[in-house]
A and B are shown apart, each in its own frame.
Chain A
Amino acid sequence: ETGVTQSPTHLIKTRGQQVTLRCSSQSGHNTVSWYQQALGQGPQFIFQYYREEENGRGNFPPRFSGLQFPNYSSELNVNALELDDSALYLCASSLDGGGYTFGSGTRLTVV
């Protein structure tokens, strides 16, 4: 049974650019959630996808958007990057909203 895999592991972008982060959910899982974790803080919920539809969103602006594909993998897109977007981005998958398995994250640095 494979776990949740995220790519890339590290990324450096310039302020104003756009970025796409990718997540492959654990085998058998149909729900994906994305979180942002700033240094020294707990993860903050960005949004969740279930069967290719967004079905919940945290307090993040519209420049944070996502997709879920038929194989349940997912993308997080962030437009017009700001310095405060620098963080560890975590993907978590589950089956029908049950126990959540997290990936190792993508460390995004905006300069």
Chain B
Amino acid sequence: EDQVTQSPEALRLQEGESSSLNCSYTVSGLRGLFWYRQDPGKGPEFLFTLYSAGEEKEKERLKATLTKKESFLHITAPKPEDSATYLCAVQPLRGSQGNLIFGKGTKLSVKP
């Protein structure tokens, strides 16, 4: 069964304190892995898509990496405005392309 597990469930950081979020996945063939940011009461906001092991992508203070079993979202010197829930999703090769399988997310709080 395809599934995604994110850890930790919640993470509290001080402003400037770098850390990483983990996304472990099991899928029978990976089309792509997605990272989204979600603010309370809002829809997910696209951050990155990764397609193959070894791939890395960066955007401002965020960097996403991918291996065959997991992905990391590294946050360097976070600011309070980075506080949000970060969602990881996999898109299996089989089935509908719209079928993104999401984890439960990591709720990040960054204190000034």
Chain A residues near B (Cβ < 8 Å): 4, 31, 33, 35, 40-45, 47-48, 55-58, 88, 90, 92, 94, 97, 99-105, 107
23 A-B pairs with C-beta separation under 8 A? A4-B43, A31-B97, A33-B96, A40-B104, A41-B104, A42-B102, A42-B104, A43-B100, A44-B102, A45-B96, A45-B101, A47-B96, A55-B98, A56-B95, A94-B98, A97-B98, A100-B34, A100-B46, A100-B98, A102-B43, A102-B46, A105-B42, A105-B43
Task: List chain A residues, Cβ under 8 A from B112.
Answer: none
Q: Quick check: is B78 within 8 A (CB to CB) of the other chain?
A: no
Chain A-chain B contacts (Cβ-Cβ < 8 Å), number: 72
B33 sits at the interface (CB 8 A): no
Instruction: Give the shortest distance, in Å, between A14 (CB) and chain B (any CB).
Output: 23
Choose from B42, B46, B98 the contact partner of A48 (Cβ within 8 Å).
B98
Contacts of B4 in A (CB 8 A): 42
Contact A56 B102 (CB under 8 A): no
In contact, A43 and B42 (Cβ under 8 angstroms): no
> Is B45's CB within 8 Å of the partner chain A?
yes
